[in-house]
Amino acid sequence: MPVTLSSPDIQPIDPVEFSANWGLAAIGADKALQRGLTGAGVRVGVVDGSMQLSHPEFSGRADVFQFDDVDDGNHGTHVGGIIGAAQDGTGMQGVAPGVLLSSIRVFRASNGYHLGNQQTADGYDAAIAAGIRLFNNSWGSITDIRELPGVSDVRSEVGTAALEAYRRAVSADAVLVWSAGNNHFPDPLPQPALPYFFPELESNWVAVASVNQALELSSFSNACGVAARWCISAPGSDIYSTWTTDAYYTESGTSMAAPHVTGSLAIAKQMFPNASGSELTRIAFQTATDLGAPGIDEIYGWGLLNLGNIVDMIEPETASFFANAAWSRFSTLQHVAAAIPQDDTGSAVFAGDQAAAFTSFWPLEGKGDGIALAGEDDGPHPRVWVGALYGASHLGAAPDNPGAESETTAALLGVDLIATDTERFGIAAGYSRTDLTSDVPGDDADEDGYHLLAYGHWKSDGWFAAGVGQAAYFDQSITRSNISGAQGTSLTPVGASSPATWAGELDGRFGREWISNGYEVAPYVAAAIRWQDTAVFEETGAGIFSLSVQSSNFGQFEIGPGVRFRSPEIQFESLVARASFDAGYSYLAGDRDYLTYAKLLGTSIEGTTAEVGEHILRIGADLKVTGNDGNTSGIIAYSGLFQENATTQTVSASLRQAF
């Protein structure tokens, strides 16, 4: 099911509480809160000094697992508050006010003394065994890694026991977030820089540099340096958060930047419960707002943490272009069907009073019980024909979809196996090319269509019936650049996919024609049914934003009355011409918003088009010119469908030759 973006249980944002920590607005945390995304139920291990979990801001949210916590540490309490202080209208609130907090004590709160590498290893192993998979580490060895030239030096600095525990944690798919350090070094401290020496850790590792309110590197912060590929920046200067006992305090440091990232990853985990640890880290990196030099750089890494972009990843508009693509496939079917006139059986054959009236206008000669134009042979002569069309369609905008335009060209080749004045039956094949563009530049698709058609027309004693059936295969290539959550980031993702679709359509009409003085009026009832089936397909090239689009089945049925007006056939030396005009109404039932499901990291996203109207105005016109011998004819035709939020218009031409 899709992630819930709103809930009746959403707490209104208290502007005073929210603004107490300026970092929340800087990373777009309000977007998460407005959608009820709080990291609810996500378990976070705070590897630090102990936390005052009895602080009112943590009421009811202490995890069942705690490691050697003594409920008295200022540093751990401050860090924990940035991650998950409650949204309760007092003091301040955390990035993810719904998380469960686990204190994993590796420092003595009273003097900041590290309790040892074995304590760290034991804390990690116990937390992993308890099921915790997200860890905040606002600490590290105060050593410039340039003083650690070899891997053995690094191993000695961080401790073999701790290093092996980190490896076990990464193997268990845990994410480890680290503060970069407060020494104004060009590189992070050894722990956040570990993947530089041990690449197997990189996929689940995050180093965090600090920025101030001007969104510049804090004066104290280490830069991302050699860790740029797994480094991000977050607010760390003058951060207001929880403090012992039941108090609040302002602190600065990369220790304050890291928990902004950890809280955001907790929300990402709520949004994408099936995401792996490495996917969560890529979410943080690839949604970050670019800072400094374009792209990933050695100062800010991927850039500024952007929780607002993370939340936007599941906005419906990110999948809406796939719904537009489904709409365009139906439009192509309609264009091709419109290029085959459903009532072209040749010259009218009249009898009795109708014939007498008609002869007062144009010279005719008798044929059995009826009369036809001079030189016209009503025998069954197979005819080969070629046709071409140009179609243009427009889809209106919706709140989650900017709308789209499509253009279709097609070529058709057919044969009238039966062609008399009263019957016509034939088969055809065609190729179509449709180009689809979003009204907001960046998304487009091109589609190759292969069509097989059968068509027929029958009339007797003024009654007539006509129909066109087609089966089509569409090979569509979609390029998607308007990707929700990727705005302003260090990399510009572009998704590419190639859905394959089978589709079909049946069009028919039945009516009665009356002729007076050579003018024909033919009321009728028209109906159409169309369908398409698209298999599951995967998007590539968009990085963490790549979607898996689920299989889809769409069907529509329309029915309604219409009337055709036709002029008499007019002889111009060796040519005979006649014109027709057609108007009708249809009621459209079935799929009108092209609801399409895509999955992002296992989470469902619904994409739709604007809902097209159920009432359709149909307009058509054509001009047919026939050689005096009846063996050669050409038709130029127009067809227009107009409904709320959509139009489809087709101009076609065909040339027939009898042998």
194 within 8 A of 230, measured Cβ to Cβ:
no
Taking the C-alpha atoms of residue 478 and residue 339, their distance in angstroms, rounded to an integer, is 26
54 is catalytic: no
Closest of 435, 376, 383 to residue 654, by C-alpha: 383
Closest of 490, 488, 176 to residue 302, by C-alpha: 490
75 is catalytic: yes
- What single-letter amino acid sits at 230? W
Angle at CA 638, nearest 5°, toward 617 and 432? 105
Closest of 63, 103, 138, 91 to residue 241, by C-alpha: 91
Angle at CA 494, nearest 5°, toward 493 and 499? 140
Q: Which two tokens mark 61?
A: 């949210």
> Which residues, in sequence order, are bridge partners of residue 637?
622, 652
How far is Cα of residue 192 from the mean position of the Cα atoms in its chain? 35
How far is Cα of residue 371 from the mean position of the Cα atoms in its chain? 61
Residue 119 parent element (H or E): helix 117-129
Taking the C-alpha atoms of residue 333 and residue 298, their distance in angstroms, rounded to an integer, is 53
**What Cα–Cα distance (Å) separates residue 422 from each residue in 348, 375, 427, 625, 651?**
8, 17, 18, 19, 26
451 is catalytic: no
Taking the C-alpha atoms of residue 167 and residue 171, their distance in angstroms, rounded to an integer, is 6
Closest of 454, 455, 449, 339 to residue 388, by C-alpha: 339
For 170-196, the DSSP string reads HHTT-EEEEE--SS--SS--TTTTHHH
- Contacts of 196-199 with CB under 8 Å at 24 or more apart are 196/145, 196/226, 196/227, 197/151, 197/154, 198/151, 198/163, 198/167
Catalytic residue among 55, 63, 69, 75: 75
Closest of 44, 139, 112 to residue 82, by C-alpha: 44
Taking the C-alpha atoms of residue 223 and residue 208, their distance in angstroms, rounded to an integer, is 9
C-alpha atoms less than 13 angstroms from C-alpha of 281 in its C-beta half-sphere:
25
Residues 6 or more apart whose CB falls under 8 angstroms from that of 7 comprise 36
Residue 24 parent element (H or E): helix 22-27
Catalytic residue among 48, 63, 312, 593: 48
Taking the C-alpha atoms of residue 274 and residue 3, their distance in angstroms, rounded to an integer, is 12
Residues 6 or more apart whose CB falls under 8 angstroms from that of 429 comprise 412, 413, 414, 450, 451, 452, 453
Q: Which two tokens mark 285?
A: 């990196």
Q: Which two tokens mark 87?
A: 């949204």
Catalytic residue among 138, 252, 255, 264: 255
Q: Give the catalytic positions in this structure.
A: 48, 75, 255
